[in-house]
Amino acid sequence: MTELTSDTQSGVEVIYSADMIATRLEGLAQEIIARGLERPLVVAVLKGSFVFAADLIRALHRSGLEPEVDFLTLSSYRKSRTSSGKVEILRDLDLGVDGRNVLLVDDVLDSGRTLVFAKDLISARGAKEILTCVLIDKKVPRAVNVHADFSAFEGGDEFVVGYGMDVAHRYRELPFVGRMMQKET
Ligand code: IMP
Ligand code: MG
């Protein structure tokens, strides 16, 4: 069977297919399990991580973990493809994190500002341990000092869409991660 390399309907070139992502997530879940987090609380940073987090928690379940899940909606990108440098809370967590072992899940680690903001917030609220997990760890210089404890894939300095990730609210529905074939105007 030929691997799908582009999606003519969306005009997005496939980087990580749905199959590649599914396979990698089983391995990623095993790596997370191996860290032995007790009573883990998964905090998914929205919106970009919602598809990744949904698949990851089910992979964790298949590996025998029973995480609780909460969501933190942050914004830094708005409509542009480059970070504004400022991170804001658009919707806060429901659950308390005091004394909890948190697995912080985001889609992309780029400048690091979003992950640092979320980590500092959860840490200030008394979390016991915070591990970070991203779908794509971009190997680019960070604006702040932060690293991903777990990542599904490593990426370069290019903007990706699909599998929950958008540009100007588009492409989140794509089942794969890809790059746009034509530059948007
Ligand atoms: P950072 O704060 O610069 O590390 O950027 C991380 C946030 O920016 C992530 O939560 C994403 O929502 C968004 N982001 C960064 N790079 C990309 C990308 O290539 N595609 C889609 N979103 C991205
Ligand atoms: Mg995000």
Q: What residue segments make up the domains of the chain, in order of their start?
A: 30-172
Q: What predicted TM-score, i.e. pTM, was given to this entire model?
A: 0.93
Of the pLDDT bands very low, low, confident and very high (cuts 50, 70, 90), residue 3 is: low
Q: Flag whether pLDDT at 29 surpasses 50.
A: yes
- What ligand has the least distance to the C-alpha of 87? 1
The pLDDT of residue 85: 77
Ligand 1 touching residue 83 (CB < 6 A): yes
* SS3 readout for the chain: CCCCCEECCCCEEEEECHHHHHHHHHHHHHHHHHCCCCCEEEEEEECCCHHHHHHHHHHHHHCCCCCEEEEEEEECCCCCCCCCCCCEEEECCCCCCCCCEEEEEEEEECCCHHHHHHHHHHHHCCCCEEEEEEEEEECCCCCCCCCCCEEEEEECCCCCEECCECECCECCCCCCEEEECCCCC
Ligand 1, atom 5: closest residue by C-alpha: 110
**Structure confidence at residue 84 (pLDDT):** 65
Look at residue 1 in the predicted model and tell me its pLDDT.
42
Task: Take atom 19 of ligand 1 and give the residue whose Cα is closest.
Answer: 159
Residue 166 has pLDDT above 90, yes or no: yes
Q: pLDDT, tens digit, for every residue of 70-104?
A: 999 998 755 556 666 789 999 999 999 999 999 99
CATH number given to 30-172? 3.40.50.2020
Lowest mean pLDDT among 54-63, 110-119, 144-153, 176-185: 176-185
Give me the catalytic one of 110, 120, 149, 166.
110
